[in-house]
Chain A
């Protein structure tokens, strides 16, 4: 089983980002996803910085995948996406259909990202014709759905692509044209001052009775809980999961990687270090029992 570092969903200062990945080069992860997936205005690192980081990480033996923006609206964003695909060399994580189309036209292998909305074996097979090599199911898809999908794929004579599941981190739940961080700080999106940079783990949102609920991260909304599928490792193995995705968090990432690295080599499932992912078990994503 491989470990991947998912794309950094938050906006960190340039030096912090570079330091994070310099450290990550020494971590026992096999795959590193690089690039901005949430907001095209976040430019602490320019495209050439990401490319340079990609080269350094590849030098350290990592497979580097460049991740695309989940919501593409502006012409400038399309232009950047075109350059990302043209950059060549590696795979792309396609997080919307624009990226799928560009990869398909240029014959670039891609990873189907979690915001791509693939829910069944036929859709997956169609995307494999277009160049999909690895698939990260959307957050809603748990063990039972993946088992059925895999069975249907194999029964139809097809083969699964590499399967990567989100094993650690806050789940990306929604995207909007609206920037919720700007809204919370009462500034216009076009004059946001890049304030996401002050919130390296997103901006906490709680219910009116003080229960932590969601995280605002620019145009993205995440669940509050840092989910952890470590204890479910035996089930993941049985499903043929090839890659465990760990989403970068502001603190404790080296420890989380070490934890999963130990776990993947152990026959025993590890102790829980994060929240139970309810989606995996076919229910609500969050814990609702303690909600009130």
Chain B
């Protein structure tokens, strides 16, 4: 299984490659990718350097072009595909049909991966993208149980990549408008979720804190209570007279213990989430997964998740909590 790691900037890309990533994925400094955060991503020259650095060390670079352009901006996404081809990216990760279609026609030799944002959860959906646009790989949305992933590996027309670690979207990727309902800015259209410009923290006299997104109260914290980033899905709300994390509590996905099952199922690649995280996160998480994968390859029958790996990963988890998420039926 290939290890695919996030690169929000050049130092993170280098850290991922040095720590043993088989491939890194990166985005341009605009809204063509789903982590269009200020201070993140690559200009042309950095991307050129990053590709040279990775290729010199046998690693691949995938360019994420995984947002949904409206008609007026389609040309910008097409230009980004041209750029990926021109700079020598090893694949583009695309969600949207018109961009896939353009890439297939203009640069047929540039492999096209279907992004998680493409929301393809079944074999027919994958066959559609394969037959129509010749995708070479698909990244699965984080909604399927491990049994469903195993079955899909058997019936899918292309190799599959699954999320192994990182922040967890609980909604089907590409089908969540909670951010735009509150702020007008969305993952699909703008490459952002609950953007920082709309976040307002309020300190109260008693030491408590409130956090609002575009004036909507997302959560309130006791003085010593850890407070996470206020995405709409991770707030606390009142439902039926009780106040709780009605959609999801802050936690990160960690599938390390499923590694043998994913390998046996024939999953082609494991993806680490976190282009918005720094080089230290990328280095540590990549190193841990590299070691786990290498140990598995060397002796699959003896493989057990080591406590050291799990604690290294937990340190980087949201709220220091990890979950098997949707892979585990009980989560649903």
**Which residue in A78, A115, A119, A284 is a CB contact (below 8 Å) of B184?**
A284
Select the stretch in B28-36, B66-74, B81-89 that faces chain A: B66-74
- What number of A residues sit within 8 Å (CB to CB) of B? 75
Complex CA–CA separation, A152 to B243 (angstroms): 47
- Inter-chain CA distance A117–B142, complex, in Å, is 18
Q: Answer whether residue B121 sits at the interface, using C-beta atoms and an 8 A cutoff.
A: yes
Interface 9-residue window, one of B4-12, B14-22, B216-224, B261-269: B216-224
Q: Which listed residue, B95, B101, B171, touches A126 by the CB 8 Å rule? A: B101
Cβ of A100: which chain B residues have Cβ within 8 Å of it? 125, 128
Which chain B residues lie closer than 8 Å to A205 at the CB level?
237-239, 246
Q: How many residues on chain B are close to A (CB under 8 Å)? A: 72
B70 engages A145 (CB within 8 Å): yes
B71 contacts A117, C-beta separation under 8 Å = no
Query: A184-B240, A188-B330, A213-B216 are known contacts. Are A73 and B71 too (CB-CB below 8 A)?
Result: no
Q: Please report the C-alpha to C-alpha distance between residue A231 and residue B291 in the assembled complex, in whole angstroms.
A: 61
Chain A contact residues, majority secondary structure: mixed
Which B residue sits closest to A115, measured CB to CB? B175
A contact residues around B57 at 8 Å (CB):
none
Main DSSP-derived SS at the B contact region: mixed
A175 and B247 in contact, given A96-B125, A122-B101 (Cβ under 8 angstroms): no
Chain A residues with Cβ below 8 Å from B332 are: 177-179, 188-190
The reply to whether A120 and B238 contact each other, CB–CB distance below 8 Å, is no
Q: Given A120-B69, A126-B101, A152-B71, are A140 and B124 also a contact pair (CB < 8 Å)? A: no
Contact among B70, B98, B182 for A148, CB-based, below 8 A: B70
Name the distance in Å between A242's Cβ and chain B's nearest Cβ.
19
- Is B254 close to A, CB under 8 A? no
Contact of A207 among B71, B143, B186, B238 (CB under 8 A): B238
Kindly state the separation between the CA atoms of A38 and B146 in the bound complex, as whole angstroms. Answer: 22
Binding-face segment, A22-30, A45-53, A275-283: A275-283
Complex Cα gap A153–B189 (Å): 19
